[in-house]
Structure formats: C-alpha cells, structure tokens
Amino acid sequence: MPGGVDIAVAADRPAGGPGELSSSAGSPVRLRRRWLHNRSLVAGGTILIVFAIAGACAPLVAGHNPLAQDAAPLANPSWHHLLGTDQLGRDVWARLVYSIRIDLSVALGAVALPFIAGTAIGLLAGYFGTAVDALVMRIGEIVLAFPFNVLVLALVFVMGSGVVSVLVAFTVTGWISYTIIVRGQVLTERHQEYVLAAQLLGYSRRRILLRHVLPNVVTQAIVYAMSDVVLTTASIVALGFLGLGITPPTPEWGSMISDGTPFLTTHPVLAAAPGVAVVIVGFGLSLIGDGLADLMRIE
Amino acid sequence: MVDDVSVATSPRATPGNAAWSRLGAVVRRALQAIPTAIGVTVLTFLLIRLIPGDPARTALGPHASARAVAALRARWGLNQSLPVQYWHYLVHLAQGNLGQSLFYHRPATAVIGSFVAPTVWLIVYSALLSVAISIPVAAAAAVLRGRPFDQGVRLLSQIALGMPQPWLGLLLILGFALKIHVFPVGGFGVGLAGHISAMFLPSLTIAIGIAPILIRALRVELLEVLGADYVTTARAKGLRESRVLLRHALHNAAIRAVTVLGLNIAWLVSGTVVVELVFGLPGLGSLLVTSILQRDFPLVQGLALLFALMVIAVNLATDIARSVLDPRTGLS
C-alpha cells in the first residue's frame, strides 16, 4: 500500500467489538437485504461488475485487436474507432477495455498479498508478543520511513520491471499497515474471555488464532484494504506511466497515458480516456469501501 | 487558551518542571529515531547487494571489459565480507561520501546536491497548498454538515483519491498552461517569482492528492470540536459563530492538520517522484528515475537513503511541533 496514508482514516472508524463477523443479527435473508439496501455498496458494486464483465468479455466489447497496428494513426473518434486510434494506429477503445484485465487483476493482487502477509504477521506478533512483536514493529518503522514510490522504484530496480516485481514491491511496502491494524486489535482481543476459554479447553494455538481470534480482528483490515485498493490502483497506473510497471506492448492504462502525453494538445483523448477509466474504477472501489464500513459498523 | 489548563498534568508540576519534562520527551523521541535511521542504512546498503548476479557487471553493462568490472568491484569493496562492507559504507556515510556517480563521473553527494532545491520547494509548497485547501473546505463541510456542499466535498474527495497523479498533472497542464496560459508548462522557473509560478501546478497536483485525506480527518475533528463544551461556552457568552469557528475550532483543527500531514509525509514525498517527471522538474525524484534507468547504483542508493532520512526527520519535527502546539498530547 502507498505509504502509511490511510491509517488515520481507518482509525477514525469505530473499532468493532468481538463477534462482528459472526453476526447474530438475523437470518441470511435479512443480511442479504441489508447489503442490497446499502446504496454505496450497490452503486460501487455495479460499477465494478460492469468493468469486470467488460474485462472478461474484452474480445466482444473491444471490437478490435488491442495490439494490431492496422488503422491510420491518430484517427479521430468515429463509429469504427469509438475513441480514435493512437500514434501506432491501435484502437484506443480496445486498448482501454483490454487494460481492465491486467490493471484490475494486478491491483487486486497488490492488495491481497500485503493483506494476507500483514494480517498473518500482525496476528502472530500481537498474539505471541515480546521479542517477535518488537522486531516486527522495528522493521515496520524502517519500511514506513521510505516514501512509497522510492521503495517501489528501488525494488523494481533490483528485480527488473514486470508484474511480479510490482506485486513483490507492493507486498514489501504494504504489509506493515495491515500488521499495525491487526496487531492492535489482537492485543485487545488476546485477553478477552472467549480466547481464555478456548485456551482452557486445550485448543491448539493454530485453532485459537485462525478460528477464534482472526474472525474478530480481520474486519478493520478489510475496511482498510478497500481504501488501500483505490490508492494502489492509482499507484500501479502511475508506475506504468513511468515505464517501470507492466511492460509494453501489453495494453495498460498507465502506459497509455504516457503514450498519449506528446499529443496532449492535438489529441487529448489519448491521455485523458485511460485516466477517466481509472477514476471511475477508483470511485466504484471507494463506494464499496464506504458501504462495507457502514455495514460492519451496524453489524 | 483552553488547552493551557491541561499543561499541569500533575498537581506538583510547575511551569519550569513541565518545560524540562517536555524537553526530556523531545530528546527521548529524537533518540527513538536513531535505530530506524540505522535500519534505513542497512536497507540501502543491501539494495545494491540484492541485485542478482554481479552488481559491477550489471552496472557497467555487457560490453565492459573484465578489468573495468574488476576495478569497480574493488572500488565498491564487493570482494570483502558483508559486515566489513557495511562498516566501510557507514564510515563513508559519516564522512558524507555516497560514492561516485557512474553516469555523471562526480561524487554522488555533489550530483544530489544540485537536484535538491526543486524537491524541497515542491514538498513545502504542496504541504502549504494542501493545508490552505483543506482547512476552509473542511470547515465549510463541517458547518454545513449533511447539506449538498458537504456531500459534494465527500464525492469530490472520493474521486480525487483515485486519480493517478501523472494524469491529474497532465490535465492541469492542459487546462492552465496549454489552453489558458496562466502557468508555465514545466520547469523550475527563474527567481523567486518564477519558482512560485512554475511550481504552482506541480504542487497543486500533489496537494489535490493529499487534500482528501486531510479534509476527511479535519471534518471529523471539527464536528467533534463544534460539539465540545468550551465551544458551547463560547457561544453562550454571545460570541458570533464566525468568531467561534475562527478562534476556537480552527485552532484545534490546525493541530490536527499538522498531525495528519506529518503522518502522510512519506506519501507526500512519494508524490514528488511522479510529479517531477510529469512537469520536467530537475529534482531528486526525476534524478531517481533516470538513475534507475541508467543503472547508476551509487546515486540510487544515495537517493533512497536521503528520501528515508528526510521522512524520519519530518516525522520527528511533526511530533515535536504537535507536542508544542498541543501540550495534552505526549510524544510517542
């Protein structure tokens, strides 16, 4: 995740008490109705589903091969080329649609991996405490001292550009935010009666951590992940713009913006369109985040 | 001022004692930054050593002669053990020696020194702009809570958060430099007035990225403050609402703004990298990217270290500034 950015925002949200995921608030039907009545969640979900379907059915939606350089370069938008063509004669709309596949999946991966790693580390550090905890927090402080782009660029520099490097870089920089959130929650949960009861029953540590503690501490991390994914998507596009993320000729929003830059005055749509796509996706994701935060607060 | 009441935390504390204990806290907080700084040097030291294969060979390229590679290996001390190499690295650092740039053929410190000014300008300018945007917007949103303005701010914040920085920068260039010629397209500008004008759009790009986070935190803070007892007292004394807002609520909001800005300083500094490239600013961020593309290892290493130390220093300064502005909060 980019820097330590939204920790403050995530912390502003009231912490949920134990048992918030294992909701006792009624039947699955009522739960589903509450989800469907949450306007943010429905609107954000719709945006994201539309994008996901467009990405999945890209060959149908795009209408052209995103790599084919068979049209006149820098053509204006027309019925045949909805958003015109770029300087190499590639259909801009097709490239835009195909970019959904790579950008969305890399963004989700770049949030899921630090989420999993950070939650696991936070769980262990919070539960076992002492030396492990101190070491983890020290390493975290060092990671947080590096401005996000600097660390990501340095890591991409070490490993070379490409999807794998981007994912590793986001995991190395992002885990600490999740660890801080989860660790803090575990520290309070650790002494709750249900944990003590599980210990008295002789359950294994693994079972206590995964079956009892985890469901009660993961909510905050999920809410944070939703604001994280918005910034991560924008950052991946920025990396692509710098030429250090996903490598060409794979259609990708960031490199599309960068390719369109020289034609800003004559063909602004080349650089503008991919950015609009990113903003709409980001808006959808942050609506989902708000909706989830609301729901979890109620539950 | 209301906050002064809580300075004397214990009945025995005198103003002198309080000042001393605060100084002690500042020193302790400064000492806490040292292990982090050392950790940062370990990480930047390992940076070059983590590169697969022979870093000297990678740096010089496939066409370099074996002798040149061997000479560079010797100069970087790559033949020695890691602890010895690290010790030499630290000794050089203490002497202000970051090694020789492979591309510029000058000491890395000298190269970095000639790129510092635009980045420092950008950081300070965008921090000021983000506060200048956030405080009035958050104040208006808090006062007009739930009204269309408040909802509009919320909506715009959500949209702004998801904007890729290079794209936002390009839009601003298109709007304010190419369509209407208010600001230059790029560059650092000449003289103070030139800098202020040339750096406005790049700083605004960063400020727009960070303002949503500030506005969100400030709005929550202001809503809390506006419901606090001392504000009710101020209103009961017959103070006009504008005065209540300016004198009482905004003071606390400003402290909160400093804190949130401090928490996000790494993010702000991070933004300079992309923005410098978009606006063609000869700063540390564009130097970092070109050094990476040129595989100029000593420069990359030096820049990563400098950026991290900058963040540590600003974090420290923010903590101290906050504890001075608001004596209730201790130094953590």
Half-sphere exposure for A173 (CA within 13 Å, toward CB): 31
B-chain residues near A138 (CB < 8 A): 35-36, 39
A289, A230 in Cβ contact below 8 A? yes
Q: Looking at residue B269, what is its pLDDT?
A: 84
What's the rounded mean pLDDT across residues A105-122? 94
What pLDDT digit, counting tens, does each position of A214-233 carry?
888 888 888 889 888 998 99
Q: Check residues B264 and B131 and name the one with the higher pLDDT.
A: B131
* Residue to test with chain A: of B40, B155, B167, most A Cβ within 10 A: B167
A149, A231 in Cβ contact below 8 A? no
A5, B214 in Cβ contact below 8 A? no
The Cα of A169 is separated from the nearest Cα of chain B by a number of Å equal to: 13
The Cα–Cα gap between B254 and A169 comes to 34
The answer to whether residue B14 scores a pLDDT higher than 80 is no
The ipTM is: 0.81
The Cα–Cα gap between B83 and B297 comes to 19
The answer to whether residue A248 scores a pLDDT higher than 80 is no
| B270 at interface of A, judged by CB pairs closer than 8 A | yes
Q: Which amino acid is at B224?
A: E
| A180 at interface of B, judged by CB pairs closer than 8 A | no
What pLDDT digit, counting tens, does each position of A153-183 carry?
888 777 877 888 889 989 998 999 999 999 9
The Cα of B216 is separated from the nearest Cα of chain A by a number of Å equal to: 7
3-state secondary structure A266-278: CCCHHHHHHHHHH
CB spacing of A145 vs B36 below 8 angstroms:
yes
CB spacing of B162 vs A12 below 8 angstroms:
no
Count the helix, strand and coil residues of chain B and give each as a percent rounded to the nearest 5.
75, 0, 25
Q: Give the residue from B273, B262, B265 showing the smallest Cα distance to B165.
A: B273
- Window 52-111 of B: residues touching A by CB (8 A cutoff) are none
Half-sphere exposure for A48 (CA within 13 Å, toward CB): 22
The answer to whether residue B196 scores a pLDDT higher than 80 is yes
Count of pairs with CB atoms under 8 A, one residue in A, one in B: 177
pLDDT band for B329, please (50, 70, 90 cuts).
Answer: low
